[in-house]
Amino acid sequence: MASLCRVKLGSWMGQACRLHTSSSVSAKLHYKMLVLGGGSGGIAMSARMKRMLGAENVAVVEPSEMHYYQPIWTLVGAGAKSVKSSGRPTESVMPSGVKLVKSKVQEINPEKNTVRTDDGTEISYEYLIVALGLQLHFEKIKGLPEGFEHPKIGSNYSVQTVEKTWKALQDFKEGNALFTFPNTPIKCAGAPQKIMYLSDAYLRKTGKRSKANIKYFTPQPVIFGIKKYADSLWDIVKNRDLQVNLRHDLIEVRADKQEAVFANLDKPGETKVVEYEMLHVTPPMGPVSVVKNSPLADEVGWLDLDKETLQHKKYPNVFGIGDCTSLPTSKTAAAVAAQSGVLHRTIKRVLKKEKPDKKYDGYTSCPLVTSYNTVILAEFDYDGQPLETFPIDQGKERRLMYYMKADVMPHLYWHGLLRGLWGGPGPYRKLMHLGMK
C-alpha cells in the first residue's frame, strides 16, 4: 500500500494540471469549497474551511433541521441520557457566515464540478468535500420498519426508535432479551453490544435479571474485531451469563408475535425462530444512493478515497470524510475527528499545488460501555493494532472512561470537533507516552 501511495503522490502534480475546477455557466450558485452533508464531518470541515478560505467561499448542503450527537444514543436507549440532550438545531452548529443550503443532494457530477439538489438548484464548485454519511436499511429486514409500531422493540440507531429501546427495557418482565448485529458494515460497531451490557445492568438493578435470558446475535465470527478488546469482552460475557451466538443474521421480525428469525450463516438455508420479550435491532447499513450512483463511488458504492490523504482517487479536487467513505476503518465520530485534521492539511497543500504530506493512520475509537459506570476504551488503527491514548491498559473496564464517554466526549464534540478545533488525540497520545507512540 505504501508503494501504491508513493505512486499516487508522485503522480499528483501530473493530475493537478487537470483539476476539474471550471464552473458551469448554467449554475446559479458557485462556491470555492462546497461541503455535502451537515453531520459531524461536514460541520467540522466547514469550520476549518471557513478559517482557511473565508466564510463567503464555503457552503454546506444539508436538509435536516436538527443535528444530533449520535454516540450518546447508546445511553439514551438505556435511560441514562435524554434524547433532547443529543440534538441541536443545524443552524446553531453551522459556522457563522457559511451558507447553509437546506436541500437534499440529488446528483453529483464531478466531470462538470456541479451538484444538483432535490429542488432543482444547481451549485458549482472548485473543490468538493463529501460528508454524506451512510444509509440505514431497516427495510432489508422483513417486518421492519413497520414492526416498530409494536411494543417491545427498539433501535439506538435512529432518533425515531431510540426511546423505544428504553421503553422496552423498562417494560421487560421475563423472557428473552435479544440484541442484534447486521451482516453489513455499520457505524460504531460496538454499539449493538453496548446496549446489551447496559440492559444487563438495568435488569440486575431492578431485580429482573434472574427472569431474563440475554442473547446477542452477530453474523461475525468474533465478538469484536480487535483481539485485545474481544478477549476482555468474552470475560464479561461469561461472568454475566450473556449468550453470544456467532454467525447468525437477523432476517425477519414478526413483531405481532414477538418473534425474531435468524439465518445460520454456517448452514445455508437453516433458520432459527426466537421469541422475545425485548428486541434491540441494529439495521443493515450501506452507502447513500447519491454517492453510490455517482462516478465518485467504488465498486461497492462508498466514496473512493486514497486511505491516507482522503483525496479522491480519480478527481483531485474532491475529498471525503466520515461514514460515506471507503476508508477501511471503523466508522465512528472519533475517526471523523482524526480524519478532519489530516484532511485539513491535505486540502491546504492541494490549494498550494503541493503534494499532500500528512497521512491518516486509520485511527478510530469505540468506547465500549459495559455498565452504567464502566467503559473499555478501544482505540486502534488500520492494521487493527491498539493505538491507545492513555498510559494504562485500556482493555480493562474503568470508571474514568465511562465519564469520558458520558460527559467529556459530548463537550469535546460540540465545542471542539464541530468548531474545527479537535483533530483527535494524536498529539496527546505522544505526550502521555513520552513520545513513544
What is the rounded end-to-end Cα distance, in angstroms, of the chain?
Answer: 22
Going by C-beta distance under 8 Å and a sequence separation of 6 or more, which residues neighbour residue 173?
208, 211, 277
- Is 324 an active-site residue? no
Quick check: 321 and 340 in contact, CB under 8 A?
Answer: yes
In the DSSP assignment, the letter for residue 388 is: -
Cell (9 digits) for 337: 475527528
- Give 28-31's long-range contacts (Cβ < 8 A, gap of 24+): 28/121, 28/122, 28/123, 29/59, 29/101, 29/121, 29/122, 29/123, 29/124, 30/123, 30/124, 30/125, 31/57, 31/58, 31/59, 31/99, 31/123, 31/124, 31/125, 31/126
Residue entry with cell 457505524:
187
In DSSP terms, 275 is beta-bridged to 259
| Residue 17 a catalytic site member | no
The angle formed by the CA atoms of residues 359, 365 and 369, to the nearest 5 degrees, is 180
Helix H or strand E segment including 36: strand 29-36
The length of the chain, given as a count of residues: 437
Residue 379 backbone dihedrals phi, psi, to 5 degrees: -135, 135
Closest CA to 261 of 276, 283, 242, 278: 276
Find the catalytic residue in 5, 17, 324, 366.
366
CA atoms of 191 and 282, how far apart (whole Å): 9
Bond preceding residue 287 cis, omega within 30 of 0: no
- Helix (H) / strand (E) element for 109: namely strand 105-109
Write down the catalytic residue from 5, 17, 188, 324. Answer: 188
- Residues facing residue 204 across a β-bridge: none
175 three-state secondary structure: strand
- The span from the CA of 29 to the CA of 27, in Å, is 6
Catalytic site positions = 188, 366
